Amino acid sequence: MWAYELIEIHLDSRVWTFGFDHAKMRAGLCDFGKKRISLSRYLAARYDDDEVKQVLLHEIAHALAGARAGHGAKWRTIARNIGYDGKRTHDGSAASDLAPIVGVCPAGHEFFRFRVATRPLSCGRCGRGFNRDNLITWHRRDVA
Ligand SMILES: [Zn+2]
Ligand SMILES: [Zn+2]
């Protein structure tokens, strides 16, 4: 309902549509080709109403600013004007919420994956190149 209301207010609702998608790595998407704003059904189910509204405003600002604007000054100005507070990054930060495979290095750095790694991996934050001392141990967790 937020989506339809915001599209009605800020965009042309005869042109832009809304739908849910199955993305796990990002919360929302503005598809300029299809003129469609979409939300990850997984993340929308986890976020509270205010957060969902913020994701929608982020994407609507993309629709208003145009594809070339990216997250540059033009997009930021528009986003701020329509009420996006920018407190949280909604692009590409979802893996840590949804990934079922969690890895930890001996120093405690965490890694999130959707698949089990096929070969041993060492922590890239503890040191460059493969090093057994920095080996990541993986475990599976339940993601609701
Ligand atoms: Zn964005
Ligand atoms: Zn580490």
Q: How far is the CA of 137 from the centre of ligand 2 (A)?
A: 11
Q: What is the pLDDT of residue 89?
A: 57
In this prediction the pTM is 0.66
Alpha helices in 30-139 (DSSP H): 41-46, 49-65, 73-81, 95-98
Q: What is the pLDDT of residue 20?
A: 95
Q: Residue ranges per domain, the chain?
A: 2-81, 99-140
Residues contacting residue 46 through CB under 8 Å, at least 6 positions apart: 97
Q: How far is the CA of 65 from the centre of ligand 1 (A)?
A: 11
Q: What is the pLDDT of residue 102?
A: 87
Question: pLDDT (tens digit, 9 = 90+) per residue, 134-144?
Answer: 999 998 887 65
Question: pLDDT (tens digit, 9 = 90+) per residue, 22-77?
Answer: 888 788 899 999 999 999 988 888 888 888 899 999 999 999 999 899 888 999 99
Q: How far is the CA of 121 from the centre of ligand 1 (A)?
A: 31
> With 60 as the cut, is the pLDDT of residue 90 above it?
no
Q: Taking a C-beta distance cutoff of 8 angstroms, is the pair 113, 103 a contact?
A: yes
CATH superfamily of 2-81: Metalloproteases ("zincins"), catalytic domain (3.30.2010.10)
Q: What are phi and psi of 31, to 5 degrees?
A: -95, 105
Q: How far is the CA of 135 from the centre of ligand 2 (A)?
A: 8
